[in-house]
Amino acid sequence: MQLGTIGVWTSYRPFGPARAGEAAKLVEQLGFGAWWVGGSPQVRDLRPVLAATSMLVAATGILNVWRSDPLETAADDAELRAAFPGRLMLGIGIGHPEATSDYRRPLTAMRSFLDALDASPTPTPPDERCLAALAPKMLDLARARTAGTHLYFVSPEHTRLARHRLGPGKLVAPELACVLDTDTDRARAVARAYAQSYLGLGNYTRALLDSGFTEADVADGGSDRLIDTVVPQGSAGQIAEHVRAHLDAGADHVCVQPLGEDGIPRASWTALARALIG
């Protein structure tokens, strides 16, 4: 799976599904290797991205096991892989107890979902799927049963911990939300508004605490230190330094999610591509 070093992460919400193909063409033209489609998509939701491009990898970022049937997932996955070989990464996640009433025994549920994928008539290749794994035991499962992990809302230190847990040869692909704006107060306000909902989810706050932040950092909307580390702001060159920090910590691939631009984030994607890809 050739994800490349730099990708993008966004749902279709900012510009609508009808413009997904237009956005995908721009992502590929700018030289990004992959588009992680957010918003808990189903596999079939990736088709507009794949159909509009020739080499871009499309990934689910992430498919939620509580909202997905494994047999349907495997069938949809096989259909798209046949049409677009080598260009689909199945990112799978367990979600959050605060957002899912059925949430229970996450590790057991994820194992069962993977077992069902493997037992289906059209199993998903293990090296073309990954887990949204934050905690140690889920990272262990990602190492044993998939290509690796797709991290979200994490610091470079968490990327380092994930690489150590997975070892060499496994995918570590963190998302990096960012704000391309050199007005510190305005940019930090955008970053803090984005972070608010994630700081209310226990899986994320535990991961932040495990990677060196304190209870004070995660309280009251997040400290400036936390916000500036997890959702960096500034020029494209300054954001590129944060991307390189994740790469230096052991990431193979970083997918950037610029915030604060309406519609397709053309200006942000273009500036980041120039800073990161050339």
Predicted confidence band of residue 101 (pLDDT cuts 50, 70, 90): low
Average pLDDT over the chain, rounded to an integer: 96
6-177+236-276 is classed in which CATH architecture?
A: Alpha-Beta Barrel (3.20)
- What would the two tokens of residue 230 be? 């997890």
How far apart CA 255 and CA 243 sit, in angstroms, is 9
pLDDT score of 140 more than 80: yes
User: DSSP character for 200?
Assistant: T
pLDDT score of 103 more than 90: no
Q: Are 150 and 173 in contact (CB under 8 A)?
A: yes
Distance of CA 244 to the CA centre of its chain: 17
Q: Give exposure, 174-195, as e/b (b: 16+ Cβ within 10 Å).
A: bbbbbbbbeeeeebbbbbbebb
Read off the amino acid at residue 70.
Answer: P
User: DSSP character for 147?
Assistant: S
Report the pLDDT averaged over residues 72-77.
98
